[in-house]
Structure 1
Amino acid sequence: MGDWSVAEMPSLDGDTVVVTGANSGLGFEGTKAFARKGATVVMACRSVDRGEDAAAEIRRSIADADLDVRQCDLASLSSVAGFTEGVRDEYGGVDILCNNAGVMAIPRQETEDGFETQLGVNHLGHFALTARLWPALRASDGEARVVTQSSGAHEMGEMDFSDLMSERSYGRWAAYGRSKLANLLFAYELQDRIDDNGVDDVRSVACHPGYADTNLQFRGPQEMGSNVRLAGMKVANALLGQSAKQGALPMLYAATADGIIGGEYVGPDGLLGMRGAPEFQQSNEASRDEDDAAELWSVSEELTGVEFDVSA
């Protein structure tokens, strides 16, 4: 891939792209890049006000940016359902879906539907979103892509289906790792089901940003009320983190580059995968566990109440 950059992205004129968490960090930078290439970008944001502020900022540098800010709270299955219904009614087809939004290392909380929040937002919300947008992805004029954002933290995750919601034992980093492992299991299982059902118009690709300097790192310390941890995270971001613009490159490459094969995993090519240009990488053995992937899919359907039939 060399030093691939956004300049090498193809024209996206006429394409519809959905980005979750589009108002900040990686989602904001991804939205800006998609818009610059001519796509209509549906900005799926928990806060419409923050989404509109982000859209206004993008339009100051890209005057003709085609942006559609819509409310989508991944911690609420009813919000996800309302969002996807609106997108299907308005656009019909979706060409790229970036499952990007997430929360990291927060104190234990539960979503509106009673899920542990990190698993609920990072995985279950995106599972329901992808399933409900599946008819629109199949309706794309070309080959649609589902890009799911994971993290190197998947390596500290473990799929304990006997305590999936971490009710008996909760560690904020362990729960984050589990949610990021779930992202990969989902992305790979989706591609396996695409292949098994002879679906040739959608590809599922996973990615991770390395260590990117975004607001994601600050929510945990803020919700813990720890100024010391917050200050430490700010120092770590300044010393170790690459920019959000650079961190968004693996997602943009996975979404738009030619020759992408479903089931790939894209991350930065630098030291320990923390920074650099996009390259294909290998995730850990647990992320390729076919039994865990199948069980997670079944459990996700049961928990969300959303049947995801890839052949439909």
Structure 2
Amino acid sequence: MTNERGSFLSTLERLDGQVAVVTGANSGLGFETACDLARLGARVILASRSTERNEMAVRTLVDRVPSARVEAASLDLASLASVEEFSDRLAGRVSSVDVLVNNAGVMAPPERLETKDGFELQFGVNHLGHFALTGRLKPLLETSPGGGIVIAVASLAAWKGRILFDDLQSRYRYVPFHAYDQSKLANLMFGMELSRRAMTEGWNLHSRIAHPGWARTQLIVNGLGSRTGNMLTRVTELGAHVAFRLLGQSAADGAEPFVYAAASPKARDGQYYGPTGAGERRGAPGLAVIPPSAQHPAIAKRLWEVSERLTDVGFD
């Protein structure tokens, strides 16, 4: 562990004995988040779809953090049945969940794909899967002393997002990055609405939101390469790749806002965290600017109600 990383972790609270669940944790931002949570003493559960990649991630994490208490669990956020099964299994293994990082994501597949429940893949995995997971884990989160902490992972892409209630599933018109932008705006609005409801209803949990800035991960590489079009479009893609290499930061640095939101004594419910450098693309974690499109409680309330109906998961 570098001195710089140790300096960052030294500003955070210890998580000894606590249980942390990280989705999409076998690579990229999720894996780096899991490493830092393990360094802080948490028992970390890597919740991802691929059993083989999960087992490899566990071995790699233990090599990197020899003191880690880490285990893997199968979770497919593209299946509401898998979300329910994961939650039921977890309830038999732990008495509470202290930290839940809703990190897993799908970015801009060139063709419209669907989850096993018939939702557009990005909206279904990035938003609805995490909405259902949080709802099903709510009893374990509320059992945590002081209340479990939920981290919704948004993106700078949320600035371009719109919640299209007349076509949430992109059935009438599918544009890869438009659907991705909508899903990340939904993540941000869900985190903010969860915080409002927790405070209003007296739920024993905390909700915060974070984004990684421009982090060089496989999700970004695959997403930027998923556009289809003419030569001009391909040149634009190449420019985006170069920009991310030059102006972006590592996955480890991109994960810092997630860990900060979960463990910093300065983190507050309902707040949004990200890199504090130019354009929030890179830099030390701190408060991020909330896009105007996310600051509409009526839209967030409607999105919540629609999500409850689509997933058949309630929070009360």
| AA at the equivalent of 2:280 | G
Shift of 1:12: 1.1
- Assess, with a 3 A threshold, how the Cα gap between structure 1 residues 40 and 230 changes in structure 2: closer, same or farther: farther
Partner residue of 1:212? 215
Shift of 1:240: 2.4
In structure 2, C-alpha distance between the alignment counterparts of 1:120 and 1:191, rounded to whole Å? 21
Shift of 1:26: 0.8
In structure 2, C-alpha distance between the alignment counterparts of 1:284 and 1:4, rounded to whole Å? 30
Q: Are 1:95 and 2:102 an aligned pair?
A: no
In the alignment, is the contact (CA less than 8 A) between 1:218 and 1:230 conserved in 2?
no
Shift of 1:63: 1.8
| AA at the equivalent of 1:150 | A
In structure 2, C-alpha distance between the alignment counterparts of 1:233 and 1:52, rounded to whole Å? 33
The two structures have a TM-score, normalised by structure 2, of 0.92
In structure 1, C-alpha distance between the alignment counterparts of 2:135 and 2:273, rounded to whole Å? 23
| AA at the equivalent of 1:135 | P
In the alignment, is the contact (CA less than 8 A) between 1:18 and 1:42 conserved in 2?
yes
Deviations 1:261-294 (A, max 9, x none): 2100001100101000111122112112111111
Alignment of 1:43-122 (within 5 A): 43-107=46-110, 108-122=112-126
**Kindly, what percent of the aligned residue pairs are identical?**
45
- Assess, with a 3 A threshold, how the Cα gap between structure 1 residues 31 and 234 changes in structure 2: closer, same or farther: same
The two structures have a TM-score, normalised by structure 1, of 0.93
Superposed structure 1 runs of 4+ greater than 3 Å apart: 220-237
- Assess, with a 3 A threshold, how the Cα gap between structure 1 residues 71 and 250 changes in structure 2: closer, same or farther: same
In structure 1, C-alpha distance between the alignment counterparts of 2:220 and 2:99, rounded to whole Å? 26
Shift of 1:232: 5.9
2:23 to 20, 23, 35: 20
Bigger shift: residues 59-68 or 264-273? 59-68
Q: Are 1:7 and 2:7 an aligned pair?
A: no
Partner residue of 2:3? none
In structure 2, C-alpha distance between the alignment counterparts of 1:233 and 1:78, rounded to whole Å? 37
Report SS of the residue matched to 1:104. Answer: coil
In the alignment, is the contact (CA less than 8 A) between 2:191 and 2:207 conserved in 1?
yes
Q: Are 1:261 and 2:265 an aligned pair?
A: no
| AA at the equivalent of 1:142 | G
Q: Are 1:146 and 2:150 an aligned pair?
A: yes
| AA at the equivalent of 1:246 | D
- State the number of aligned residues: 306
* Alpha-carbon RMSD: 2.0
Q: Are 1:173 and 2:177 an aligned pair?
A: yes
Partner residue of 2:137? 133
In the alignment, is the contact (CA less than 8 A) between 1:6 and 1:249 conserved in 2?
no
Partner residue of 1:157? 161
Shift of 1:32: 0.5
Deviations 1:82-130 (A, max 9, x none): 1111111110200000001111121211111100011001000000000
Q: Are 1:280 and 2:283 an aligned pair?
A: no
In structure 1, C-alpha distance between the alignment counterparts of 2:260 and 2:30, rounded to whole Å? 14
Bigger shift: residues 29-38 or 233-242? 233-242
Report SS of the residue matched to 2:187. Answer: helix
In structure 2, C-alpha distance between the alignment counterparts of 1:232 and 1:79, rounded to whole Å? 38
Deviations 1:218-255 (A, max 9, x none): 33366669998886665443222200111011100000
Shift of 1:194: 0.8
Report SS of the residue matched to 1:91. Answer: coil
Q: Which runs of 5+ in 2 are unaligned?
A: 1-5
- Assess, with a 3 A threshold, how the Cα gap between structure 1 residues 305 and 21 changes in structure 2: closer, same or farther: same
| AA at the equivalent of 1:8 | T
In the alignment, is the contact (CA less than 8 A) between 2:9 and 2:40 conserved in 1?
no
In structure 1, C-alpha distance between the alignment counterparts of 2:222 and 2:76, rounded to whole Å? 16
Partner residue of 1:304? 311
- Assess, with a 3 A threshold, how the Cα gap between structure 1 residues 217 and 93 changes in structure 2: closer, same or farther: same
Q: Are 1:241 and 2:248 an aligned pair?
A: yes
